[in-house]
Amino acid sequence: MARVIPSYCGLPAWTSRAFLTTAVLVATSALAADVLDGNALKRLVHQDCGSCHGLSLKGGLGPDLRSKSLDHYDADVLTDVILDGIPGTAMPPWRPLISEEEAEWIARYLLESEAQ
């Protein structure tokens, strides 16, 4: 599927600052991971995401979400796709329903093979 993935090549001057922000976010979400309800989020992934992507995430209306099909994403980009959806398609934004930490948890869950 052709999609523009933000390029991390030819990084402009603000990157080191963005990197710091990311590092802080990652550190914060590592703490937040303790309070996220992993079982509830797994249920959301398999039932809600699964209603379009297939209960076993192998694809349906939406594409296959197993980690081998998502290796063109890094966790940050995947988190954004989950939060903002894919405009002009049936992939909805989840920002109104879940927190950024939860979206990031889901992104990491999908990228690890545990979701299969």
Positions in the binding site for ligand HEC (CB under 6 A): 1, 3, 48-49, 51-53, 61-63, 65, 69, 78, 81-82, 86, 89-92, 94, 106
Q: Is 1 or 13 the residue whose CB approaches ligand HEC more closely?
A: 1
CB of 17 to ligand HEC, least distance (A): 27
CB of 56 to ligand HEC, least distance (A): 14
Q: For residues 114 and 61, give the distance between their C-alpha atoms in angstroms, rounded to a whole number.
A: 22
Q: For residues 83 and 66, give the distance between their C-alpha atoms in angstroms, rounded to a whole number.
A: 18
Across 23-60, b (16+ Cβ under 10 Å) vs e yields eebeeebeebeeebeeeebeebbbeebbeebbeebeee
CB of 116 to ligand HEC, least distance (A): 14
Q: Is 16 or 116 the residue whose CB approaches ligand HEC more closely?
A: 116
